[in-house]
Amino acid sequence: MKIVKVKNYEEMSKRACSIILEKVNSVENPVLGLATGSTPEGLYKYIIDAYKQNEVSFKDVTTFNLDEYIGLDKHNVNSYYTYMKEKLFKHLDIRPENYHLPNGSADDIKKECEQYEKLIEQAGHIDIQVLGIGVNGHIGFNEPGTPFTSRTHVVDLAESTRLANARFFDTLADVPTQAITMGIETIMESKTILLLVSGEQKAEALARLLDGPVSEDVPASILMEHPNVIVIADEAAWQ
Ligand code: PGA
């Protein structure tokens, strides 16, 4: 595991951006795994800037997002589809058929999960997966207790996750109770993993990942067993 300590959120985002650009510019038909939430917003801004400066093209890039809420239409303002469209995709030359998120409104959710796995496999697996970490140590929406052998599946969101995400919704009751997420094994098949950690609210989760045992109680702890992980964490996350 390579650990990069940076001063603050901006520096974390810039460093992450240069790693992503390097990957996109060096791999043929790159496959990116992407995340939502507050953590990668800065990274996406820097990617858009780089695209505008002609430093990179996403014409041959395929992407897979980690997760999507169940029960929100994809055009809902709080869906992860809308997040990705607004904060990244619509600003780039990525082809609409090349970006993927699980469909949380699918009639047959189990089939949707299986299909998502198949698409990732057909794309040749993820070259680099961007990850945030939950305050409870989750990755994607794999909450504590999720088997390390899990594939893309439906999850009941932990109360702490719903509370953490309530800031994007009018009320806590509006936060969906379920989501589809890539499984832990699916994430672990990514060739490289880029974990971004910012802010003191993540300090405990980061410490449990770095110092604690590898345990399903801390989903992110499995990253210790991945051969190619880069963690970029800011000073606040180290306290
Ligand atoms: P955040 O979420 O980036 O909004 O803090 C990260 C996560 O829950 O994985």
Check pocket membership of 102 for ligand 1, CB cut-off 6 A: no
* pLDDT at residue 177, rounded to an integer: 97
Contact 44, 9 (CB under 8 A): no
Q: Report yes or no: 150 and 190 within 8 Å, Cβ to Cβ.
A: no
Instruction: Please tell me the predicted confidence (pLDDT) of residue 239.
Output: 75
Q: What is the pLDDT of residue 184?
A: 98
**Does ligand 1 come within 6 angstroms of the Cβ of 133?**
yes
Tens-digit pLDDT profile for residues 28-81: 999 999 999 999 999 999 999 999 999 999 999 999 999 999 999 999 999 999
Both tokens of residue 165?
Answer: 């995400």
- Tell me the domain boundaries of the chain: 2-197+211-223
CA of residue 237 to ligand 1 center, whole Å: 13
CA quadruple 49, 64, 165, 160: dihedral sign = negative
In this structure, whether the domain defined by 2-197+211-223 belongs to CATH 3.40.50.740 is answered with: no
- Active-site amino acid positions: 67, 136, 138, 143
| Residue 182 in tokens | 């890539």
Alpha helices in 27-129 (DSSP H): 41-52, 80-87, 109-122
- Give the position, in ligand 1's atom list, of the atom nearest the Cα of 202: 5
Is the pTM value of this prediction over 0.85?
yes
- Binding site membership of 39 for ligand 1 (Cβ less than 6 Å): yes
| 131 CA → ligand 1 middle, Å | 9
Q: Would strands 31-34 and 128-131 be described as parallel, antiparallel, or unpaired?
A: parallel
pLDDT tens across the length of the chain (239 residues):
999 999 999 999 999 999 999 999 999 999 999 999 999 999 999 999 999 999 999 999 999 999 999 999 999 999 999 999 999 999 999 999 999 999 999 999 999 999 999 999 999 999 999 999 999 999 999 999 999 999 999 999 999 999 999 999 999 999 999 999 999 999 999 999 999 999 999 999 999 999 999 999 999 999 999 999 999 999 999 97
Give 158 Cα–ligand 1 centroid separation in angstroms: 13
Alpha carbons within 13 A on the beta-carbon side of 128: 22
Q: Is the CB of 132 under 6 A from ligand 1?
A: yes
Q: How far is CA 14 from CA 50, 165, 196, in A?
A: 11, 24, 11
